[in-house]
Amino acid sequence: MNLDIRQAVKNNLVNASNIDVLNTINDAMTISEEKVLPGLGVLFELYWQGANDEERNRIALTIANSMRQ
């Protein structure tokens, strides 16, 4: 069975409000199951694609700093 995770995530959130997206992310983090990681990855990918260089650098720095803690 081929499952297009990117398309499934996009379809599930096509008309989502910012609150819907926030709740989706919080739910995925609360569940703490690895099966939700691909969906979070899709959300991050969409965010990254729309970010400018300054924003990408800020996020990369935040992640790098978080990895050092």
For residue range 10-68, list pLDDT tens digits in order: 999 999 999 999 999 999 999 988 989 999 999 999 999 999 999 999 999 999 999 99
The model carries a pTM of 0.83
Report the domain count for the chain: 1
Residue with the bigger pLDDT between 3 and 23: it is: 23
CB 28 within 8 Å of CB 39: yes
pLDDT of 2 reads 61
In sequence order, the 6+-apart residues with CB closer than 8 A to the CB of 45 are 6
Domain that holds residue 47: 5-68
| Ramachandran bin of 20, using left for φ above 0, alpha for ψ from -120 to 50, beta for the remaining angles | alpha
